[in-house]
Amino acid sequence: MDRESGKLEQIVSQFRSKILHVILNSRVPSLHHHCQQQEPVSLSRVRKSDKWFNLVLGDRAAALENLNFSLRNLLDPMIIDIILVHRSSCSSPLDNLYTPSAAVGSPSDETVIERWVVQYDCTRFNATPTGADTSSSYKKTYKKSIILLRSLFAQMRLLPAYRIFRQLSSLSQTYNFDLVYKVSSFSHPFSREEEGAMKEYSFVPVEAFPGRLCVSVTYCTALSDFNLEPLVSLPSNIITDYVGSPTTDPMRSFPSSEKNFHATSFSIRGVRPPSSSPFQRPHSWSSGFYKGLPLMQNQSLAGSPPAYRTSPKPYDVASPQSDMYGNRIRNRLPTLQQATAYDEYQLSPPFSTSASPSPPAYFSGANLVVAHHCSETAPVTIPFQLTGRNSLYLSPNSSDPNRHSLPPLSPRSSKHDASSQESPSGIRSCRKLEAQRAGESPSGLSINYSAQKMVRDSKDDSGQFSGLLSSSGSPRIGFSRSSSRLSFQDDMDDCEFSCPFDVDDIDVSDSPASQNVEGRKASDFTAQSVPVADALEELKSYREMRDLLLSKSGIQVVRKEGM
């Protein structure tokens, strides 16, 4: 009996995972693209985990793996909200910068267009199967689960939201809408008005003694009211004389030119223009490559979509809101906020290297975000200490080709991050959602998250971080436990004084002294930092010496001049 119940528990657990996979693959564009970009493996070589319910969907994105981990309590319902996020066309990152209040979007910008509820219902008493029936009960449960999943898979293509999903998945167009998701173990009930515009469909429950598997969906019937307008993308333009603002984050690294980065319109809306993207990563769909990105380990709470909401955060290039690298990057790009739940920054690599732990994906994603963001400015020379700091900050492991110039963090942080998923799934999401809806500054929330992560990270990666601090010789990175925005801002400001933007540096190579080659030693030319005044003085002294020499051999000079 225990063996049977173990099998049943496994079926229930895998059923939830599979449903999540099916739903998100059919509703979240980037996850769908990740799935599509995988090379189809022959059915005989499909991974075991993908064979469940005889429905091969391809490797799961890291986000899904993390969600599965977070929703391990089988008795809790798994509620998946598919949210249509509307961006107003007039908003821009600059607007958000100067009007932070505008960063908090109104609830009407987000519409839950589908709510899937998956539950293992044990409340109803089911007759205990007899001994002979017990052994076959889990087989019947499994067979019926297969059928249910088939019908769910087909139905997902018939519901109104599928059309929107297909439109937003289009690589040739970008829209003013996004599809994001939220997974939690509880949800806010719909208002009467919302309920009026929705229909409910419940799949026939599958008997799974001692309970039953129940799946239902509440969906908006009329989505034609949402006017999906294709966005007009700005042409790519490289600003050749851009030197950055004084508040530019000096910590960012600039990819080398051969990395094929160039400015795109991404920075404005977080969407990729129809033209070719600089990124050739196989997994991300940059029309909001923040969407459906692999779940960040530190945000993998099933119920907590730190940035699924639509309201753009302040486009704050200069003032990271936390000392966590990932969060700082997120806040920099407001459109990233509107990503699918957790999926913001985990770009690429992890998908292809699914064997690797997810968290490196998170950080690498963040790094890539930084890289992409940085790619909009012309490359500038960065002092060694900054680059050195960056490379120390990030793991030296750069095996993944998709990480371009920024190496990923060490797996140690990822391992630790996995533990953060054990928190109750829905609680954080609710807290975050409420805070955001209440207009709380997103920085505060992100700081909380970052602070928590910081504490955790520091436990495992203390060696690395402390080493970083000692090598840099100054607390510029600001790994303060307080994670206060201001202190970090101050730290970053300190870095600017050593950046090459200072115009007071004089290029000695242009001074007149450099033109006088006679009698000058080679080392003199290297003194390009010698001020002009000093050079003139030197020149005078040389002239004096020359005159002295000439005076001593004055007859010879006169003779030469007369010729």
Partner 1 sequence: MNCEVCQLKELEVEHFEIREVLRCILHTIVFHRALGLVRPKDVDLELFEITYVQCGDVELEKKIDEKIDQFISWVEKHPNKKSQICLSFYEVKSKQPSWFTNKTERLYWEQWYVNLNVTQHPKHLSSKLHHTKVVVDPGESATEERSSRRAMVEASLREVLFQIIKFVNEKKDHVPPISEGVIYFPYEITMPSSSDSAFGMDMIKRMLHSGHPTMLS
d(CA 1, CA 133): 11
Q: Which of residues 465-504 bind partner 1 (CB under 8 A)?
A: none
Q: Record the tokens describing residue 562, joined without a space.
A: 């007369």
- Residue 144 in the binding site for partner 1 (CB under 8 A): yes
| Cβ nearer to partner 1, comparing 163 with 262 | 163
- Residue 55 in the binding site for partner 1 (CB under 8 A): yes
| The one-letter amino acid at 104 | V
For the chain, state the CA radius of gyration.
30
User: How many amino acids of this chain bind partner 1 (CB under 8 A)?
Assistant: 27
**Closest listed residue to residue 302, CA positions, set 35, 65, 34, 14:** 65
CB of 207 to partner 1, least distance (A): 10
- Residue 47 in the binding site for partner 1 (CB under 8 A): no
- Residue 155 in the binding site for partner 1 (CB under 8 A): yes
d(CA 174, CA 326): 25
The residue whose two tokens read 């002295």 is 548
Q: Record the tokens describing residue 140, joined without a space.
A: 């019947």
- Residue 162 in the binding site for partner 1 (CB under 8 A): yes
d(CA 205, CA 356): 37
Locate all alpha helices (DSSP H) within 375-484, ordered by sequence: 384-393, 411-419, 425-437, 442-460, 462-472
- Residue 559 in the binding site for partner 1 (CB under 8 A): no
- Quick one: which of 47, 72, 157, 459 contacts partner 1 (CB under 8 A)? 157
- Which residue pairs, CB below 8 angstroms and at least 24 apart, start in 431-435? 431/304, 432/304, 432/305, 432/306, 433/182, 433/188, 433/305, 433/309
**Closest listed residue to residue 420, CA positions, set 155, 70, 56, 61:** 70
- Quick one: which of 1, 90, 158, 355 contacts partner 1 (CB under 8 A)? 158
- Residue 552 in the binding site for partner 1 (CB under 8 A): no
- Quick one: which of 139, 188, 459, 559 contacts partner 1 (CB under 8 A)? 139
Q: Which of residues 166-195 bind partner 1 (CB under 8 A)?
A: 166
CB of 32 to partner 1, least distance (A): 10
The 281-310 site mask, x for binding partner 1 (CB under 8 A), equals ------------------------------
Q: Which stretch binds partner 1 (CB under 8 A): 203-211, 288-296, 391-399, 494-502?
A: 203-211
The 57-86 site mask, x for binding partner 1 (CB under 8 A), equals x-----------------------------
| Cβ nearer to partner 1, comparing 175 with 465 | 175
| Cβ nearer to partner 1, comparing 153 with 289 | 153
Q: How far is CA 301 from the centre of its chain?
A: 16
- Quick one: which of 3, 43, 188, 471 contacts partner 1 (CB under 8 A)? 43
Q: Which stretch binds partner 1 (CB under 8 A): 138-146, 188-196, 251-259, 525-533?
A: 138-146
The residue whose two tokens read 């380990």 is 297
Q: Which stretch binds partner 1 (CB under 8 A): 148-156, 257-265, 288-296, 440-448?
A: 148-156
The residue whose two tokens read 């002979």 is 132
- Residue 150 in the binding site for partner 1 (CB under 8 A): yes
| Cβ nearer to partner 1, comparing 10 with 54 | 54
Q: Which stretch binds partner 1 (CB under 8 A): 47-55, 267-275, 317-325, 402-410?
A: 47-55
| Cβ nearer to partner 1, comparing 166 with 459 | 166
Is the separation of the CB atoms in 342 and 376 below 8 Å? no
**Closest listed residue to residue 346, CA positions, set 80, 61, 37:** 61
The 21-40 site mask, x for binding partner 1 (CB under 8 A), equals -------------------x
Q: Which stretch binds partner 1 (CB under 8 A): 46-54, 233-241, 334-342, 541-549?
A: 46-54
Is the separation of the CB atoms in 84 and 179 below 8 Å? yes
Q: How many CA atoms lie within 13 A of 238 on its CB side?
A: 9
Three-state SS for 181? Answer: strand
Q: Record the tokens describing residue 544, joined without a space.
A: 């004096």
- Residue 51 in the binding site for partner 1 (CB under 8 A): yes
Q: Where are any strands of DSSP class E within 71-176?
A: 78-86, 110-121
d(CA 478, CA 469): 9
CB of 221 to partner 1, least distance (A): 12
- Residue 163 in the binding site for partner 1 (CB under 8 A): yes
Q: Which stretch binds partner 1 (CB under 8 A): 103-111, 150-158, 279-287, 346-354?
A: 150-158
CB of 284 to partner 1, least distance (A): 21
Dump the DSSP string for 183-208. EES--PPPPHHHHHTEEEEEPPPEEE
Buried/exposed code over 44-71 (b: 16+ C-beta within 10 A; e: otherwise): eeeeeebebbeeebbbbbbbbbbbbbbb
Q: How many CA atoms lie within 13 A of 5 on its CB side?
A: 6
d(CA 93, CA 98): 9
Q: Which stretch binds partner 1 (CB under 8 A): 70-78, 136-144, 258-266, 412-420?
A: 136-144
CB of 139 to partner 1, least distance (A): 7
- Residue 226 in the binding site for partner 1 (CB under 8 A): no
- Quick one: which of 1, 90, 132, 154 contacts partner 1 (CB under 8 A)? 154
Where do contacts with partner 1 occur on this chain (CB under 8 A)?
Answer: 40, 43, 46, 51, 54-57, 139, 143-144, 146-148, 150-151, 153-155, 157-158, 162-163, 166, 203-204, 206
